[in-house]
């Protein structure tokens, strides 16, 4: 696949996320995440981003609460992109997530997410999650 084809796929995916028909619109359009007017044109997107692209990288918004634009986008590896999500888990512990460089614990009960707390270590967050899990489910993890 050529660089142009790879960037065209990224361009199409980016635009699809910001449309009303997108299945996860609550994560993009409903939060005000849009594509800047300039990037409605693939050639401008390509001109802005092709120079810094390399294989193995994906398009990332520097500020996850802002839209797609030259000023807010960069190419990053998978781990770096996960850090920019609203919440992600690489902790290896059930219910423990990294969220904007903080360690948080949360639990889902009856399809609702509850914030357990913000902690200084993965271990403390895991202990808090396990305590709530035991109280709610009566099962020791």
* Per-residue pLDDT tens digits for 62-121: 888 899 999 999 999 866 765 555 555 566 778 888 877 788 888 877 777 888 899 988
Q: Residue 95 in contact with residue 129, Cβ under 8 Å?
A: yes
pLDDT at 87: 52
Q: Residue 128 in contact with residue 105, Cβ under 8 Å?
A: yes
The helix or strand, by DSSP H or E, that contains position 27, with its residue range, turns out to be: none
Q: Where are the beta strands (DSSP E) in 7-89?
A: 58-61, 73-76
What values do phi and psi take at 92, rounded to 5?
80, 5
């Amino acid at each position: 696949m050529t660089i142009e084809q790879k960037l065209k796929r990224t361009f199409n995916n980016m635009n699809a996320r910001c449309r009303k028909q997108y299945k996860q619109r609550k994560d993009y359009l409903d939060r005000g995440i849009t594509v800047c007017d300039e990037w409605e044109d693939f050639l401008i997107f390509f001109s802005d981003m092709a120079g810094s692209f390399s294989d193995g990288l994906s398009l990332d918004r520097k500020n996850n609460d802002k839209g797609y634009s030259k000023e807010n986008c960069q190419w990053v590896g998978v781990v770096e992109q996960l850090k920019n999500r609203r919440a992600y888990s690489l902790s290896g512990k059930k219910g423990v997530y990294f969220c904007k460089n903080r360690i948080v614990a949360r639990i889902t009960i009856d399809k609702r997410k509850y914030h357990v707390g913000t902690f200084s270590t993965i271990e403390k967050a895991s202990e808090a999650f396990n305590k709530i899990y035991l109280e709610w489910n009566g099962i020791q993890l």
